[in-house]
Amino acid sequence: MKYLCDPQIIPSVVPLDVAHIESYGTLVAGYAKWLHVDIDDGRFESETTWPFRQPLQLQELDTFRSATSLPAGLFLEAHLMAYATIELGEKFARAGFKRLTVHREAFDDDDALRAALSAYKSAGAQEVGLALKIDTPLSSIEEVIDACDFIHLMSIADIGLQGRAFDERALSRVEELHAMYPDLMVCVDGGVSEATVEELVRAGANRLIVGHVLAESPNPEKTYAQIHERAMRGCAPLGAVLS
């Protein structure tokens, strides 16, 4: 069990367009340093988000960095729920997204996956990582783990939309992954709330992506603070008294 940790709570947005990213980024910048942007191509999963909703939106990535107004100190990470080619990831990296997450299931070939992760870093991404659906075996990352800065575990049964129920199987997967790679940054995405975050941190999660509960909250800053406070309780040994 970890006795010292620093859980990171990261708001997420399912973007309709660039303006949606800007407006939500402005909203969360007062209390968060990162914004997690879900990208769905409509093929890897049935949902479709910016920049795949309209034919010309993909071109907006080429001017995103210079044309988009985001608060200073807010950084973006892209979660590519897409068949992520080298070119697509490079576009996001050049657009200023500092972290890129691609799905293990989107790549059949380890060499192609390794080449893609390397290309994203060369294009400007500071961190690259792999997302795994809830039914994807943890063993599927063994041959490429050395190319990853983090692993992103989905904790809902069906990905692509916010508001899905937390899948209890995620807890044992976090524990297993943390036991396999104790120094690895473990991210959890889906159904994260006050009710689930403490156990996730205690199991070994380091980053927690929060979507629906913040988007639907009448006071998202207060909700964010409450989730972070609850996450910190997961850092303490069971039975410890927190002041």
CA atoms within 13 A on the CB side of 225: 6
Domain boundaries, the chain: 8-233
- How would you write the pLDDT of the chain (243 residues) with one tens digit per residue? 344 588 999 999 999 999 999 999 999 999 999 999 999 999 999 899 999 999 999 999 999 999 999 999 999 999 999 997 899 999 999 999 999 999 999 999 999 999 999 999 999 999 999 999 999 999 999 999 999 999 999 999 888 667 688 999 999 999 999 999 999 999 999 999 999 999 999 999 999 999 999 999 999 999 999 999 999 999 866 544 444
Q: What share of the chain is helix, strand, coil (3-state, %, to 5)?
A: 35, 20, 45
Q: What is the pLDDT of residue 187?
A: 98
Closest among 69, 112, 118 to 90, alpha carbons compared: 118
pTM above 0.85, yes or no: yes
Q: Domain 8-233, what fold?
A: TIM Barrel (3.20.20)
Using DSSP, how many helices (H) and how many strands (E) does the chain show? 8, 8
